[in-house]
Chain A
Amino acid sequence: AQSVTQLDSQVPVFEEAPVELRCNYSSSVSVYLFWYVQYPNQGLQLLLKYLSGSTLVKGINGFEAEFNKSQTSFHLRKPSVHISDTAEYFCAVTPVDSSYKLIFGSGTRLLVRP
């Protein structure tokens, strides 16, 4: 079985400051990893994904994440946030042998203040 832990339920940050949203996972099999963003009362949009290859992946809106297999982590980072980045961010994993099943973390609300 797989599980995803997002320890920070809310992360407040000032505009133009850097931010890191943490994600750790547990799995007995290899997984693919994802970050999704959700704006209020909307669906989820894929920010970035790690399938294989380089452990540093770049996504949309200036976000990037680094896969660390030894620490089973996939933290999301942005060097300078904007007010428009205020949203809920979800980390998710799927086993490589059954990619229909997305397992989500509980989400981290990023609150960007002026």
Chain B
Amino acid sequence: DGGITQSPKYLFRKEGQNVTLSCEQNLNHDAMYWYRQDPGQGLRLIYYSQIVNDFQKGDIAEGYSVSREKKESFPLTVTSAQKNPTAFYLCASSMIQGYYNEQFFGPGTRLTVL
């Protein structure tokens, strides 16, 4: 079945550590996205990538980094510079063609800083 997988489902981090969240898609989508979800705030865009080896900052990129070495993979690193990383992280992907491209979401990773 085609879809988006995120791992791990739950992640615990000590303060000062970097952690990497995995996102893989087998939908052959060109674009991939990372969102952060906090209670009562909806989703906010961290980074997005429309093509391999290229990505752009979203609204809240500080303290995060990404790479796009393969079309199907878009890992997100939460660095120690991110002051409040505890949140639910969602990865999404979409085609880039035509005038509208539906974003499909993965199941999410819940990150907790201890």
Contact = CB atoms under 8 A, between A and B. Distances in A.
B2 interface: no
Contacts, number: 53
B94 A100 contact: yes
B105 interface: yes
Contacts of B96: 100
Grouping DSSP codes into helix (H, G, I), strand (E, B) and loop, the A interface class, with mixed when no group exceeds half, is loop
B112 to A, nearest CB: 13
Interface of B: 4, 9, 31, 33, 40-45, 48, 50, 88, 90, 92, 94, 96, 99-103, 105-108, 110
18 contacts: A32-B100, A36-B105, A41-B9, A42-B108, A43-B4, A43-B90, A43-B107, A44-B43, A45-B105, A46-B102, A49-B102, A90-B42, A100-B33, A102-B103, A104-B43, A104-B44, A105-B42, A106-B41
